[in-house]
Amino acid sequence: MLQPQKAGLAAIAGNGEMIIADAMRAPLRAVAANDSELTWRDKLSDMDLAPDLGEDIGSLRWFRGLGTFAALVALALALLPDFAPLYGMAGAVPTEAEFEESRAQMIMPLALGSDSGKKMAATDAVIALAASPERPSITLMATLGRGDSFARVLQRAGVGRDEAARVTSMVSGAADLGAIAPGTQMQVVLGKRSSRNAARPLDALSFRARFDLNLAVNRVGGALQLKRLPIMTDDTPLRIRGQVGSSLYKSARAAGAPADAIQNFLKVISGQINLSNLQSSDEFDIIVDYRRAETGEVEVGDLLYAGIDSGGKSKVQMLKWTSGGSAQWFEASGVGKTRGELGRPVNGRMTSGYGMRRHPILGYRRMHAGVDFGAPHGAPIYAVTDGVISYAGRKGGNGNYVQIRHSGGLASGYSHLSRIAARNGQRVRRGQVIGYVGSTGLSTGPHLHYSLYRNNRAINPLSIKFTETAQLAGADLANFRAKLARLKAVKPGAALTSLRGSNSQADEPKREIDRLTMSVPRNSRI
């Protein structure tokens, strides 16, 4: 009896599920049957405009989603804000009064002569005194700001315009006003004025005009007189030696070498030896341009010499030397190397790069063994670096052609010139004009075809970096060796001995790294 009842209940349940499923499908069948009666708005609302682009790739639905994505990207780019610079009025030169008004509203460091803050006029609540006593003299400190002028500083301190001009003329005869460092402080003493409507007269002015010179202006017998107060200085280079140890940088810093000098030292010697091959027992030798005054100020200059000694013998000796108008590093034998990129042959934009391309005249694909620069007819063409002219004349499809032979197996070629300004065998310098842009040979218009060769094989001109070797000779080599001998004769720490008139030996820093905390870079002073 129980089993037939269970079977009947299962059948009823199954029929119920079918009835519910049919009831859910009925609206869908009705929509499908009446699809032709839907409006375009209903169809658009049912359309999936943002499907998953990872599904049904290549279908109409996928391309519809791709179109939505492209439209959103285009909209975002169209709404991208403009970050172009905002330019002020061209040619509007402010007057002196306008400059002073704008300077009062600038935000500047106090060390550079800040006098920020616009001064407001008194209100009706302020009652002026009938008379007030004045001090017979005023002593103040004025600071020369960046972009400031000497006369303007004096006028801000209270000196009259005419007297400030006279003092400026006197000082300019003793020192270059443009060389006075920003932040230089001037002690100004103003005397008693004859009336309240007149500016106070300048009684005294003192300041440091140069690292080795103080200037003082004093009023003597009613007239201003300038007095020069030279400061004793010492230019002995700073030489620092020590063992490499576990870290060359740390050892050099512990010995008192400036951080900038150590970084330049590592850069120089890394071009001569592998730094990883240095032994802890090797010794470094650093010589830096150094200047100090009897008043205690110090100027630290550039690295002059970089050396590495191993086993009592010099392993690396590099001296900075100026040859041909440019400074570079030379070995003790007088051999120097210059590394860098080649110069630009013409002032113009690159129109065609290196590689395979369809020739504009011949009509088929072939190797374009160079770089084309678009430039107007007659524009000058420059040598990319020093070399010797190995060919200058007509050369087939290249038209008027110039080739320059450089060191290291490199050679550069310049094609389609309108006119050649060099001759065979001529030695040319980097940036020298060797010809002018034209359209000779196989060319569709004025341009320069620039090519580069290494051992007579064409290479991409944009990827090459050159290394040029220079050998000093004659008097230049003799002067070089003399300077090298003078620097190596300097004893380590000789620049740290006390100067005549300086502070006592007990007040001197024990290590150079302690002294550098109160030193300033070259061309700056404290």
What pLDDT is attached to residue 15? 53
Inter-residue contact 203 to 155 (CB < 8 Å) = no
Two domains, one topology: 238-334+487-521 and 349-469? no
- Measured over the CA atoms of residue 155, residue 161, residue 165 and residue 167, the dihedral's sign is negative
Inter-residue contact 318 to 268 (CB < 8 Å) = yes
Task: Choose among 519, 526, 524, 525: nearest CA to 258.
Answer: 519
What pLDDT is attached to residue 358? 65
CATH number for the segment(s) 136-231: 3.10.450.350
Q: At what angle do helices 161-172 and 150-157 cross, to 10 degrees?
A: 140
Inter-residue contact 436 to 421 (CB < 8 Å) = yes
The label of the residue with tokens 């106070």 reads 200
Task: Choose among 169, 167, 172, 202: nearest CA to 188.
Answer: 202
CATH number for the segment(s) 349-469: 2.70.70.10
Which portions of the chain are predicted below pLDDT 70?
A: 1-46, 83-93, 104, 110-121, 324-325, 337-342, 356-366, 465-469, 500-526
Domain boundaries, the chain: 136-231, 238-334+487-521, 349-469
Q: What is the 3-state secondary structure (H, E, C) of 410-465?
A: EEEEEEEEEEECCCCCCEECCCCEEEEEECCCCCCCCEEEEEEEECCEEECCCCCE
Task: Choose among 456, 339, 451: nearest CA to 409.
Answer: 456
By the 10 Å C-beta count (0-12 exposed, 13-18 middle, 19+ buried), 233 is classed as middle
What pLDDT is attached to residue 519? 43
CATH number for the segment(s) 238-334+487-521: 3.10.450.350
Q: What are phi and psi of 437, to 5 degrees?
A: -65, 140
Cα(5)–Cα(2) distance, integer angstroms: 5
The type of residue at 41 is R
- Measured over the CA atoms of residue 260, residue 265, residue 271 and residue 275, the dihedral's sign is negative
DSSP conformational letter for 174: T
Cα(35)–Cα(249) distance, integer angstroms: 82
